Amino acid sequence: MKNIFSISFNKATISVETMGKNNGNTEYLVHMPDGDMHLRHTEDDEGAGRWIDTQTDHETELSSEVGQLIELHNVQHTGD
């Protein structure tokens, strides 16, 4: 089931869709002003989180920054 919410990024409100899990990792579709970004949240064996841009299969500065905003939203709205 998709969950849709909004976050603030660079003075803009952007829409984020939780797309579900893939191999145990949650995936998101982020509707950025200049185009969509597909993010995958992964954790290593020690629990450190990474935000992977699925188009490049790497964590970038942008994917990390947006991912942290998604995490903040999720923490603030747990149990809503």
The string of pLDDT tens digits covering residues 22-39 is: 888 999 999 999 999 999
* Cβ pair 63, 40 in contact under 8 A: no
How high is the pLDDT of residue 10? 92
CA dihedral of 15, 37, 42, 5, whole degrees rounded to 10: 0
Q: Is the pLDDT of residue 16 over 70?
A: yes
Residue 51 pLDDT level (bands cut at 50, 70, 90): very high
- How many domains does the chain fold into? 1
What is the span of the domain harbouring residue 11?
3-76
What letters, b where the CB count within 10 A reaches 16 and e where it falls short, cover 57-72?
A: eebbeebeebbebbee
